[in-house]
Structure 1
């Protein structure tokens, strides 16, 4: 069986081209998504009716606020006025200003360091909490005074792993007093408007019991980050052989706005979930990996649009949550595909992502007995992702219609869809399917079964839902464009790189609303058990390994 799992879509020879393909799609979609937020909305940013101006220099190590311990009141938070002027619409010259936080997440009230490099003499930092806010999508919760700018030293590249290192000094310390839990973008702005960039950070929840957990996929953001010329897919030559074998969180994100993959693959879902007002908690993939009991008692946990790189601990904690009755939603494709290891950097724990892929035998950690950082389905230690997801990654690149198979399913309630309805361009750029040649939980129900042709190979994309003995339900969209499609309007403002239209936006929005409401209510399998239909969909032969 190891041979079955030893190779598959996204194999090493394809990685460099795959990364470039996704980067082009992401960049276009980001620009399109920002264009959709043009307009003006005014209102309070701080508690006193203003954004609040305070020094970015503050004592580190602040304690979590009482609000953080009690949990976020999503409805009350989103009733506050938003600020529609948050986007980085004019990034300015390269290297004009950029930076990173020395922690991917903090508890409310804790501090973190900002490491900023700029050619400007002074700059400011504005902290925007991302949510719904009546459609503005963000609220300004804090703004710094003008801070002195400095041009930080050039990065270096580790000779053994080709990992980019910055070793920048800390520019400012930010304390998150009175910042509600959530996903944040810090906007760095050079004096005189010479440049703007984002720095993402999560104000995480201390507990998740009874709530739906939004998990920011920070490991995948970093793997695709090519700042300094190197990422997990290629180096300056563009070839796979020159890729980084380890990448560091101690650097900015390459994409023009500095937000990594957040705005395309995560922000639209967060806006929708907060608009619904369901109880939410926030965390990151790093936190789930580190804290064994973080998901205890959670109603549901959400993996968003592109969540490819997982540590074994993260996967074990997701699986344990499912087996304890927590629902899981996989709102993308190619999820839980790469097995990684997290190691410390000079700035703290879990700030180095190690993924040797096919070169795992060169990994000093593997030689010391750590699991090989190869694809989960590959030897040694093959453990295909389908045992958790229900579906398994089948390939890229594709661009195909999404075809509804099971319109009577509760997830399609209110969509008005009929069997065979097609939604153009909704399947892509990567896709998953039900493939019983790999470990597949049963009963599993296929809701959409879309023909695709991937590099000349006919196949299918599947959206699927399964339930387990604990009562948990697990849903997987099977397409990477699902979250992105939530913003599709058909008016040219968003999704224009794929041609996603208003029908796709309406479909994905209603299905996601149905999903989030049912999953927030507790173990979905107790009220909505899956009805296995694999034989019917695949004509009695079921899906087999290719």
Structure 2
């Protein structure tokens, strides 16, 4: 076998390409939103609630420069079906305030419709259409339709990660990752995190392009392993910037994540009823009629109230399948559940930072000022992951879950052996993951409990991931994460950003775990990419998912 000639690879790297006077995607980031050109043809709109029940009225708040507009409503499930439309509505243009991200648009209602009792629970896309002089523009609004009587028609609920979507929705000037008041994303990584974000996000504004619909076959954040010597970057971000999509929408949303699992569930006969996270805060009894709950995809943000509803459900005998990753942040809902608050990396700036009611504080669940490790609810912790197969973050990592307990019931009939790497070709382990603190004994991983993992939690599969991005110096490298998250996590978890603290959290794991909780049960596949494995028909991932759901619904 011929050894790899690393010297030759280095020569290839040095050839590289011309650079220095062309902007990267990091330098081209801008927020989605209305045009500054008063003559531009555009249409924007949002629903007055994230979720409805049959018989309720959906209010559409729309601003358009088109004289005539209309809309269609499509149910996005196993099939994509048009269920309603209105045409010939008179257009009206409305201004946007300076503080629209935090305060909302405040536009008047432009149209409404009552939801028929026969519509099935699911995700509904409202395609807004504006027309002028033979030209048409479109934009997508969205709502969740919950069941009229949750749990009566189906015992399986799926909760869409709508709070995570909102943190990645930069419409109007910012989101949880960007602020039009601080746009230099090439500065010190921790400084960028502390300054370039919006702590208050209104639901009363449109969704950024790409959160609700996106073309088939677009690049994912989790990538195939690059050749030796290749430059690293984020092709999905390049694609978004080049094609007029908000760059943050490659990391979250209905289109890229939640919809994939919902469609798979319907296609495989599970008849899920869809809820939003907003529903758990709206009605703490909403899960009572269900036997099992699924969350999926990029599921990073939860309110304390919503998490408490899920905890109560599980402890009372419910079963919870977490087929998603990156559980990190506690948010607070205000203004009648219309405003989402999370001060994130600048938690000390939250007016409620020292509140006696920890539910009111915002920031990382694992941080010393909240200290509510997600593992006790979700089966893993966000900062015990996190990254793989993206940029310089373990770009040639395993890409799949390395199996250590093949005899577990979750693997029945999946032809799983000790040491198998589940889903590596996809990859199923990538972008962001969840893990636990662990040690090995006799070839098997066990939780140490140092991170709050409860006694009895089993680690079924485990794969190394990292919290720090490496730069190997290749020409063309674009390093975006660097050590920013590592610096934050070291201080948040251990009180101070020191070399010793960084060493404790730099390298983590993506895990599949199972645990009992009260009278209930939790299964966790801690990766944002499980939904992609389902959508692509990975045989073993599908078999494991069926084992979990069939057991949980039995």
| TM-score, normalised by the number of residues in structure 1 | 0.69
Which residue pairs with 2:333 in the alignment? 342
Contact 1:185 1:199 in 2 (8 A): yes
Gaps of 5+ in 2: 1-24, 33-38, 186-191, 214-248, 390-396, 438-448, 471-505
Contact 2:387 2:465 in 1 (8 A): no
TM-superposed deviation, 1:368: 6.7
Which residue pairs with 1:485 in the alignment? 533
Distance 1:397 1:193, change over 3 A: farther
Distance 1:341 1:95 in 2: 36
Contact 1:273 1:516 in 2 (8 A): no
Distance 1:515 1:404 in 2: 16
Contact 2:264 2:535 in 1 (8 A): no
**Number of residue equivalences:** 406
Distance 1:269 1:322 in 2: 21
Contact 1:98 1:258 in 2 (8 A): no
Which residue pairs with 1:284 in the alignment? 276
TM-superposed deviation, 1:358: 4.2
State the secondary structure of the residue aligned to 1:163.
helix
Distance 1:397 1:155, change over 3 A: farther
For each residue in 1:495-534, what CA deviation from the matched residue of structure 2 results, as whole angstroms up to 9, or x when unmatched? xxxxxxx6xx33322222222222122xxxxxxxxxxxxx
Which residue pairs with 1:101 in the alignment? 47
Which residue pairs with 1:355 in the alignment? 342
Question: Does residue 514 in structure 1 map to residue 547 in structure 2?
Answer: yes
TM-superposed deviation, 1:389: 1.7
TM-superposed deviation, 1:369: 5.3
1:170 pairs with one of 93, 109, 114: 109
Distance 1:482 1:427 in 2: 8
Which residue pairs with 1:465 in the alignment? 514
Which residue pairs with 2:57 in the alignment? 111
TM-superposed deviation, 1:278: 2.7
Question: Does residue 207 in structure 1 map to residue 150 in structure 2?
Answer: yes
Question: Does residue 122 in structure 1 map to residue 43 in structure 2?
Answer: no
Query: CA RMSD for the aligned pairs?
Result: 2.7
1:153 pairs with one of 74, 95, 119: 95
Contact 1:164 1:228 in 2 (8 A): no
Contact 2:46 2:60 in 1 (8 A): yes
State the secondary structure of the residue aligned to 1:173.
strand
For each residue in 1:444-476, what CA deviation from the matched residue of structure 2 results, as whole angstroms up to 9, or x when unmatched? 222221133442644322111112341x22011
Contact 1:290 1:313 in 2 (8 A): no
Distance 1:366 1:392 in 2: 22
Distance 1:198 1:398 in 2: 31
Distance 2:76 2:410 in 1: 26
For each residue in 1:231-283, what CA deviation from the matched residue of structure 2 results, as whole angstroms up to 9, or x when unmatched? 11221214331321111011111134655600111111111211232353221
Give matches, 1:47-196, under 5 Å: 96-132=42-78, 137-157=79-99, 163=102, 165-178=104-117, 179-191=119-131, 192=134, 194-196=136-138
Distance 1:175 1:338, change over 3 A: same
Question: Does residue 432 in structure 1 map to residue 439 in structure 2?
Answer: no
Give matches, 1:260-279, under 5 Å: 261-279=253-271
Which residue pairs with 2:291 in the alignment? 299
Distance 1:96 1:413, change over 3 A: farther
Distance 1:376 1:408 in 2: 32
Contact 2:212 2:255 in 1 (8 A): no
TM-superposed deviation, 1:193: 5.8
TM-superposed deviation, 1:297: 3.8
Distance 1:447 1:263, change over 3 A: same
TM-superposed deviation, 1:380: 2.3
Which residue pairs with 1:17 in the alignment? none
Contact 1:447 1:462 in 2 (8 A): yes
1:311 pairs with one of 303, 317, 331: 303
TM-superposed deviation, 1:196: 2.1
Gaps of 5+ in 1: 1-19, 28-92, 489-501, 522-546
Distance 1:94 1:271 in 2: 36
Distance 1:308 1:511 in 2: 23
Distance 1:469 1:395, change over 3 A: closer
Question: Does residue 218 in structure 1 map to residue 162 in structure 2?
Answer: yes
Which residue pairs with 2:173 in the alignment? 229
TM-superposed deviation, 1:217: 1.4
1:255 pairs with one of 206, 209, 218: 209
State the secondary structure of the residue aligned to 1:145.
strand
Contact 1:215 1:285 in 2 (8 A): yes
| TM-score, normalised by the number of residues in structure 2 | 0.68
Distance 1:229 1:317 in 2: 32
Distance 2:463 2:196 in 1: 36
Distance 2:129 2:299 in 1: 29
Distance 1:155 1:294, change over 3 A: same
